[in-house]
Structure 1
Amino acid sequence: MQVVCLQDEALKALTDRLVEYVKAKHLVKEDKWISGEEAMQKLRISSKTTLQKLRDEGKNRFSQPEKKHILYDVDSINDYLNKHAKNTF
């Protein structure tokens, strides 16, 4: 059996490269526009009313290609979550 030792920085760099390789290899890409259910899951909310309130207040960007079909911008949701993130001490 062979044991390989790496310094913390080398291990992190190797891990980052591996993650990028796997993403590129499997073409992992998140959809730009997601359904209301997916938006609620991403925001960790369970109420459609809360999702509508966020939409009505202009907190999340959305598209309405049909009257009853609303899609939410993933980047807008991520920006909203990052805006409300609290830094550690």
Structure 2
Amino acid sequence: MQVVCLQEEAFYALFDKVIEHVESKRKDKPDKWIDGEEAMFHLKIKSTTTLQKLRDEGKIRFSQPQKKVILYDRDSINEYIEAHVRETF
């Protein structure tokens, strides 16, 4: 068995590189743009009409890359939910 000694700075530099490499290879990063079904799931709503109302009123961001394809910004949905938080007593 071999023992490798590193200076503290070199160890942390190596450690940072390993973390950077692992994070770049992660496959489970959530997508920025999600479809309507997933948006309704996160908002805990069941009606597409409610989702359209939120979109039409400008409460959540969306993109329409094609005529029948509407994608929603995950961050804006999270911001919308956070904006309606009620603090406890």
TM-score (norm 2): 0.70
Q: Which runs of 5+ in 2 are unaligned?
A: 1-21
Q: What is the CA deviation profile of residues 29-58 of structure 1, one whole-angstrom value per residue up to 9, with x for unaligned ones? A: 211000000000000000000000000000
Q: Which runs of 5+ in 1 are unaligned?
A: 1-22
Segments of 4+ in structure 1 off by > 4 A?
Answer: 23-26
Aligned residue pairs, count: 67
Cα 1:43–1:26 change in 2 (3 A) is farther
C-alpha distance in 1, partners of 2:25/2:48?
Answer: 33
1:41 match? 41
- Specify the structure having the higher radius of gyration (Cα): 2
C-alpha distance in 1, partners of 2:42/2:23?
Answer: 23
Identity among equivalent pairs (%)? 64
- Superposed counterparts of 1:1-89, under 5 Å: 24=23, 27=26, 28-89=28-89
